Each structure stands twice: as structure tokens, then as C-alpha cells.
A and B are shown apart, each in its own frame.
Chain A
């Protein structure tokens, strides 16, 4: 893998290695992260269909809640956070 295509993203504030061309979901699974979201009852959820139709993989990506991690390509410096359905906050620019 050429060096310039490897970079880091922030997951819940901690840097994790990422690679160009991968989705957020792929990157997290590769780094051993399985819980992407907590439901309103606090249950853990991870990605499911991996093709954009089930919406189970929703996360807060660069401040945007409800982003589908399986459909979002990683970018250098991207901020990804576990989504807590009981407490979803407005996108940064709208706070």
C-alpha cells in the first residue's frame, strides 16, 4: 500500500489508521470496532446490510448525525463518533 494513501481518522477522539478507498464501516471493523451506535434502549448496533438500505450503521460523521458509515468513504482527519440515539445533537454548523 503506497504511503500517501494511509492516514488516520478520529474515532470517539482516538486516532485510528485508515486507508484511501475504504468506507468508514470497513475502517472501523478492521480496527476491531463493532459497536457503531446505541439504540434508544441502549442496545449496541453495528453495520448490517453494507449496501445502504438498512440504516443500522448510522454514526455521527464530521458532526453529522445519522450518516451511513457503510456509504461514506474515509477522508484524512475525519471525525467519527458512536451515535447515541437517545441523545442526537444538531450538526456542528447549526449549533
Chain B
């Protein structure tokens, strides 16, 4: 039997960030992961650290808070997370989109974000490989990317150096409560752990962990597929995506992109990430397909076709691999960073397509929540009980 002041379940970017910040408070932390560090969604994704896709308001503020923690992190933890600060670009296809984008950009700028519109001439100047008919773009200077696997590994190692125990290859089987509904012990594949505090950072596995203590957590896997090219020529150095991406992400009605039925059906939106190694990651799709992580030719072709529409030269890049990840989706797209009716049982999960970006702030907020300190941002919009009526309704 082991003991810990706090147990973090899940070794993805969220769990490792929580373990990192929690261990800073001097608590004795154990992180438990059934597989390996970053073996889940955090290794089947891209590595954008973005604010350009956040809705003006709370969403954007939360994103920016997290983003500001990235530039200094490699140095802070003594581990290269491959932070690349080249900025991001949203590509605009039509005059109609341009109008929507200008409004969006204005509202983000009002939040104090480093965004600006680029006209036709300017965007082709800085992106010479772009398809000729692209009418403009929106640039966000503070955006960047990391290697998410390195991020999780670096955070885990840093937490370990602060005294945290990292247990991989061991699944949580059950959580026992004391009689008045308070966390008592964790039953694992290995030794059990006595602890008063649990952070459920199991990503798409969070609902299963919740059920162990009778807490319902509305997270569903939302599949996304990615194409990987070989290391190749320098097409662009920025993180690029289509403006229509935001529309897919927020499921905005009354806005139609000119795309094929296959693209529409699979929520295909163009995203391009040049990796530190010189490959390109091309994405992506969005659909609910249970826990299926197989990629399929229809979606791959749709993503490929969309990519070539924006960067014709990509047609000549060689595809070496495809993979699919499962985004932990919540009904309102916001993560859950929250206490629960069970004393000592906290949730930090449900980041959908933003988990890498929001990892650091999530770790921090979780720590502040557990320590009872005042949080860097109001936690109300992230509370689990915001779904109470929906959950009751579903029953």
C-alpha cells in the first residue's frame, strides 16, 4: 500500500501538467497511467498552441493565459519541448469570409491579442506557395507549436524531479470512498494508493473513472485524422489553417464553405503544421466514431484534397503515415476543470481540440482549485455542474 497527498489519473498533457504544478506546492503526488506517458490522445494530435481559434471573450482569455506559459517552459523544466513561435495564419477563401474574419479579428484585438488582417498582396508575399485565389489572412503573432509528446514527457520528468512518483503501465481499477462520500483509496493494477485527493485527467477515459465514484462526466470521443508527410521542402514555417476551420469547430450554422460532400460529412478542415523535424502534419477531420482510431481512405483523400486546394505544391509531398486521435469532446466545447459532489474528487478533462494549448493553464488552475487559492481566471464556466440539466435530461 502506497500513500500520496494527491493522485493524478492519466499521463497525457493534462495529467502531466497537473502533476507538475501540484508537485510544486510540496504535495506528495503520484501520477498513474495505464499505458505510457503521452500514449493516448496526446500523441495522436497536432501541437498547435493557439489563440487564433478561440471565441473572443473568456475562451480567448483562457487560451492566452496558457499560451503565455509556453515560451519559457523548456528552460524552466530543463527539457526541450520544441516550442516554435513562428505565429499562425488563418487563410481566407472568399470576400464573404473576409468580412466575417475582419469582424472576428477586431473582436480578438479588442481583447488585447496580437492579431492583424493581411490583404491579398501581403499574404502572397509572405506565403509564396499559397494557391493564387486566396484573398487574405489573419495573422496571430503569439501563436506557436510544441511537440506534445515532448511536452508530456518533459512535464512528467520535471514533476518527478520535484518528488512526484510516475507510475506507468498500471491502470486504475476502482476508487473507494469513505462512508460520507470522500475519496479514500485507489485500486490499481499495482499497489493500492491511500489518498484524500484525486485528479481525473484521463481524457476520453474520464467518464469511466467518474463512474467509479458515481459521477457522470459528459465527455465523448471525437475522432480526428492526420496525414504525415516525409521530411521535405520548406513550404511554410507557420501554423496554417483555413478560416472555415473555426466554423467547423464551433458548428456555426448559416455559413457554408464550398467543399465536397465527403469533406462536409467528415468535418474536414485544412490545418498544416510544419514540425521541428521537417515533416508536415496535415489535418484534419471531426466526427463521432466511438473509440475507433483507424484512419480511412475516404477521409484521408478528403483531407489531402483540401490541403492541395490551399497549397498546390503539397501534391508532390510524399505521405508516409496517417493516424487518428480521439478528442475528448464536451457539449459546449469548454473543458471541465472542476470539483465534484464527491469530496476530494476533481476533474481536469474534456479539452476537445485544445488540450495541448490549454495544458499548462489547466495544470495551474487544477492546483489552485485543490489548494484553495484564488484562480488565475474565474472557474465557473468550467464547472462540471454546468451540465447538470443536460445530464438529467439525457436520463
- Mark A residues whose CB is within 8 Å of B: 40, 55, 64-66, 85, 88-91, 94-95
In the A-B complex, the 3 residue pairs with the closest CB atoms = A94-B313, A90-B233, A88-B233
A94-B129 in contact (CB<8A): yes
Looking at the complex, which one of A40, A64, A85, A90 makes contact with B234 (CB distance below 8 Å)?
A90
What does the 1/0 interface line of B107-137 toward A look like (CB < 8 Å)? 0000000000000000000001100000000
Given A65-B232, A66-B232, A85-B231, are A90 and B129 also a contact pair (CB < 8 Å)?
Answer: yes
B231-A91 in contact (CB<8A): no
- Cα distance A90–B314 in the bound complex, in angstroms: 10
Specify the chain A residue showing the minimal Cβ separation from B229. Answer: A66
Closest beta carbon of chain A to B316's beta carbon, Å: 5
- Cα distance A65–B231 in the bound complex, in angstroms: 10
What are 13 A-B residue pairs whose CB atoms fall within 8 Å in the complex? A40-B278, A65-B232, A65-B233, A66-B230, A66-B232, A89-B234, A90-B234, A90-B235, A90-B313, A91-B233, A91-B313, A91-B316, A95-B128
- Cα distance A24–B232 in the bound complex, in angstroms: 20
- Cα distance A59–B208 in the bound complex, in angstroms: 51
Chain B residues bordering chain A, tally (CB within 8 A) = 13
Specify the chain A residue showing the minimal Cβ separation from B129. Answer: A94
Q: Which residues of B contact A91 (CB under 8 A)?
A: 233, 313, 316
Specify the chain A residue showing the minimal Cβ separation from B320. Answer: A55
Specify the chain A residue showing the minimal Cβ separation from B277. Answer: A40
A89-B231 in contact (CB<8A): no
Q: Which residues of A contact B231 (CB under 8 A)?
A: 85, 88
- Cα distance A85–B195 in the bound complex, in angstroms: 52
A94-B232 in contact (CB<8A): no
A88-B129 in contact (CB<8A): no
Closest beta carbon of chain B to A61's beta carbon, Å: 12
Judge if B312 is at the interface, Cβ distance under 8 Å.
Answer: yes
B230-A94 in contact (CB<8A): no
B313-A88 in contact (CB<8A): no
Specify the chain B residue showing the minimal Cβ separation from A68. Answer: B318
Looking at the complex, which one of B128, B232, B312 makes contact with A88 (CB distance below 8 Å)?
B232
Specify the chain A residue showing the minimal Cβ separation from B235. Answer: A90
Q: Which residues of B contact A40 (CB under 8 A)?
A: 278
Q: Which residues of A contact B318 (CB under 8 A)?
A: 66
- Cα distance A64–B313 in the bound complex, in angstroms: 11
Q: Which residues of B contact A85 (CB under 8 A)?
A: 231, 278
- Cα distance A88–B234 in the bound complex, in angstroms: 7
- Cα distance A68–B7 in the bound complex, in angstroms: 51
B234-A94 in contact (CB<8A): no
Specify the chain B residue showing the minimal Cβ separation from A89. Answer: B233
Q: Which residues of A contact B235 (CB under 8 A)?
A: 90
- Cα distance A5–B233 in the bound complex, in angstroms: 34
Closest beta carbon of chain A to B234's beta carbon, Å: 7
Looking at the complex, which one of A65, A89, A94 makes contact with B312 (CB distance below 8 Å)?
A94
Specify the chain A residue showing the minimal Cβ separation from B311. Answer: A94
Within 8 A of A (CB), among B278-321: 278, 312-313, 316, 318
- Cα distance A35–B81 in the bound complex, in angstroms: 34
A sample of 14 more A-B contacts (CB under 8 A), given A40-B278, A66-B318, is: A65-B232, A65-B233, A66-B230, A85-B231, A85-B278, A88-B231, A88-B232, A88-B233, A88-B234, A89-B234, A90-B129, A94-B313, A94-B316, A95-B128
- Cα distance A55–B129 in the bound complex, in angstroms: 26
Q: Which residues of B contact A55 (CB under 8 A)?
A: 230
Q: Which residues of B contact A90 (CB under 8 A)?
A: 129, 233-235, 313
Specify the chain B residue showing the minimal Cβ separation from A55. Answer: B230
Specify the chain A residue showing the minimal Cβ separation from B231. Answer: A85
- Cα distance A56–B278 in the bound complex, in angstroms: 17
- Cα distance A43–B231 in the bound complex, in angstroms: 17
Within 8 A of A (CB), among B57-71: none
Q: Which residues of A contact B129 (CB under 8 A)?
A: 90, 94
- Cα distance A85–B279 in the bound complex, in angstroms: 12
- Cα distance A85–B129 in the bound complex, in angstroms: 20
